Amino acid sequence: MKSVLLVLLWLSSLLFATESSLEACVEGESISKIEFFGLHKTKKKTVYRSLLHRIGDSFLSQNWYLEKESLESLDLFAEVNLRCKKDSLGLVLEYKFRELFSILPFPAGKKTDQDGLMLGLALAHLNLWGENIRAELQYRTSIQPFFRSNEYAFYWTQMWFLNKAMDLDLEFLRTDSYDNLRGFQEDSYLFDSKIQWNFARPYAFLYGLSSRYYFDFGEISSLSFGFKRDTRIPKVYTKNGFYQEMLYSYHFKLLDSKPMYHEYVLDIRYYQTISNLTGVFSTLWRIRTGDIPFYDRFYHGGANSFRGWNPDSLHYGEQESLSNIEARYTIRDRKASSIKSFTYFYGLEWVLGVDISVLWDSSPNWTHYHSAYYTGLHIIIPALERLRLEIGFSPDSKEPKLFIGFFEKSVSQRWRSR
């Protein structure tokens, strides 16, 4: 009996110590020092950029919650925690991190309208030089039939550029693939660059430059300019917030300065969470005017556009609208875990939703309208954000379809056509 009492006293002392450390985060108290623990691969300045607290400021619990969401959005940490203690000058903030793996060879997957599911190999560094720079090499090939379509890709992503709050995204893609939807052999190179200047939270200016070269059709380039408002919390695995993007692109032949077409994009996403249930609404409009080449037509069908049927040559158009209403029930919230030195996180959601597709050339009408219902599981994972396993049904096709997708559908539908 005495030993049992001693164990209970020891456990209660641990609980009391934990509560005391939490209670030490006194609202409004001056911050005398900020310390980091667990940063073995990540530079301190990479973390500082996401902090709202500074030495000499007053501690605000609301700022800590925003910091936690921002730090988790970096996709560098499986878990982020805060502990407070007092010293003679004020409050000491101790941020504690569990870092994710940084160098990762893994199977590379992609789902496109033209080729369906593609698989291959990739080597990624998720935190190059400890500055949250992601560099990735990939090779992918079609699986039905094998090796008919091949892609070689290089990606570079960083959240700070020229020591400014600017996101930089670079992509180089080599494609040798038969496009059975548009009916031609695509032998091409693509270079795409994007800069996002976060001039004032939550607002940003968007700039883009891209160039594609088709061996059979020549070159086509584009310049883009846009504006974005993003209040999502966090930026990935979002639970709450609003995303709005307006983008204009001018497509032209660089070598002969020939104008081709203009494109206007409106992308809206809204998230709201109550308890374990998250409601999501998204809509994407892409309007084009001018001389649009056949290889730039949109197709609807599949995990990354419309989950009512598989992509085929019957559902195409020069302009599109994709809308979605989705309910997500959290079965397992994001949770950190480790296998030996391999640290990761995972989560699980059950989803139920409706897709709405409108695809047209000159002007839309009700014959271009289609809807589909779907349900399935989303597995929350690092790097790829989520693996989507979904079953969709459209009254037009009258039979269920199984779809596998990566990332948020509202993200992947922006780049699904190469």
pLDDT value for 296: 87
pLDDT tens, 107-124? 665 555 555 566 778 888
CA nearest to 307, candidates 366, 378, 246: 378
Place of tokens 């180089």: 172
DSSP H or E segment with residue 100: none
DSSP 392: E
For the chain, give every domain's residue range: 12-99, 103-415
Calculate Rg over the CA atoms of the chain.
Answer: 24
Q: Tell me whether strands 298-299 and 184-200 are parallel, antiparallel or unpaired.
A: unpaired
pLDDT value for 72: 87
Amino acid at 265: V
Residue pair 170/186 in contact by the 8 Å Cβ criterion: no
Inter-CA distances, 123 with 149, 155, 383, 388, Å: 20, 11, 12, 22
Res 15 pLDDT > 50: no
**Rounded mean pLDDT, 390-411:** 90
Candidate from 32-36, 84-88, 115-119, 162-166 with smallest mean pLDDT: 115-119
Question: What percent of the chain is predicted at pLDDT more than 90?
Answer: 53
CATH of domain 103-415: 2.40.160.50
Res 340 pLDDT > 80: no
CA nearest to 279, candidates 235, 307, 245, 238: 238
pLDDT tens, 208-251? 999 999 998 889 999 999 999 999 988 888 999 999 999 999 99
Q: What is the mean pLDDT of the chain?
A: 86
Res 156 pLDDT > 90: yes
Confidence of residue 18 (pLDDT cuts 50, 70, 90): very low
DSSP H or E segment with residue 9: helix 2-23
pLDDT tens, 157-172? 998 888 888 999 999 9
Tell which wins on pLDDT, 259 or 286.
Answer: 286
pLDDT value for 114: 57
Confidence of residue 11 (pLDDT cuts 50, 70, 90): very low
In the sheet that holds 31-37, the strands lie side by side as 31-37, 90-99, 77-87
**Rounded mean pLDDT, 79-100:** 92
Say what the pTM is: 0.83
Residue pair 294/183 in contact by the 8 Å Cβ criterion: no
pLDDT value for 418: 42
Query: CA-to-CA distance for 332 and 319, rounded, in angstroms?
Result: 38
- CATH architecture, range 12-99: Roll (3.10)
Res 327 pLDDT > 80: yes
Tell which wins on pLDDT, 194 or 297.
Answer: 194
pLDDT value for 12: 38
Which own/partner pairs from 218-222 qualify as long-range (CB within 8 Å, at least 24 positions apart)? 218/253, 218/255, 219/253, 219/254, 219/255, 220/251, 220/252, 220/253, 220/254, 220/260, 220/293, 221/251, 221/252, 221/253, 221/254, 222/249, 222/250, 222/251, 222/252, 222/263
Res 356 pLDDT > 90: yes
pLDDT value for 58: 94
Confidence of residue 261 (pLDDT cuts 50, 70, 90): very high
pLDDT value for 289: 94
pLDDT value for 14: 34
**Rounded mean pLDDT, 281-300:** 92
Q: List, in sequence order, every beta strand (DSSP E) within 162-240.
A: 166-179, 184-200, 203-214, 218-230
Tell which wins on pLDDT, 69 or 281.
Answer: 281
pLDDT value for 116: 58
What CA dihedral angle connects 376, 380, 382 and 386, to 10 degrees? 30
Res 299 pLDDT > 90: no
Burial bucket for residue 274 (CB in 10 Å: 0-12, 13-18, 19+)? exposed
Residue pair 135/123 in contact by the 8 Å Cβ criterion: no
Res 143 pLDDT > 80: no
Tell which wins on pLDDT, 384 or 110.
Answer: 384
